Structure 1
Amino acid sequence: VVWQIAARRSTYQKHGKHSVLYRVRRRIEQAKAQMRAKVEHPFRVIKRQFGYVKVRFRGLAKNTAQLVTLFALSNLWMARKHLLVAGEVRP
């Protein structure tokens, strides 16, 4: 299995912008970037908003529980705008 994580733009730009191969490669890279952004965003929230950068040695159960809690909180953090709008009192 060959894993191509992210292709440099120059690798598929050399085919020419009007080529079919260029458009296919660009769509593939765009799909990978969209998936990567969805996956990496909760990690950014956990690291920046909650300051979690290291795993402490407390045991597997406690570390797992803390990570599950942090990911649940990151989901709330990312949905906070929608939740605040839904909680407003409307006339």
Structure 2
Amino acid sequence: AGIRAKVEHPFRILKRQFGYTKTRYRGLMKNTAQITTLFALGNLWMARRALRKA
């Protein structure tokens, strides 16, 4: 359960912070680019406290 919780956290951030609840069918390249960008933003969101201290 602990591993699953760690994996589910980035998806929760995408849904709650960035509003990505429904997939829009735009083409594989555009969907891949959007989800990659959102995960990169999600990583920055999770590391925001550490980035402020630096």
The two structures share one fold, judged by TM-score above 0.5: yes
Q: TM-score interval w.r.t. the shorter chain?
A: over 0.9
Equivalence for 1:79: 47
Asked if 1:39 is matched to 2:4, the reply is no
**Superimposed CA distance per residue, residues 6-51 of structure 1 (whole angstroms, 9 cap, x where no aligned partner):** xxxxxxxxxxxxxxxxxxxxxxxxxxx1111110000000000000
Where structure 2 has 5 or more consecutive residues not aligned to the other structure, the ranges are none
Q: Report % sequence identity.
A: 72
Q: 1:58 and 1:40 mapped to 2: Cα distance?
A: 25
CA distance in 1, matches of 2:46, 2:34: 18
- State the alpha-carbon separation in 2 of the partners of residues 43 and 57 from structure 1: 19
Structure with higher helix content: 2
* Runs of at least 4 residues off by over 4 Å: none
In the other structure, the counterpart of 1:63 is 31
CA offsets per residue over residues 38-89 of structure 1, 9 Å max, x none?
A: 1000000000000000111110100011001101110000000000011xxx
Q: Match of 1:40, as an amino acid?
A: E
| Residue aligning to 1:54 | 22
CA distance in 2, matches of 1:72, 1:34: 23
Q: Which has the higher contact order (CA 8 A, sep 6+)?
A: 2
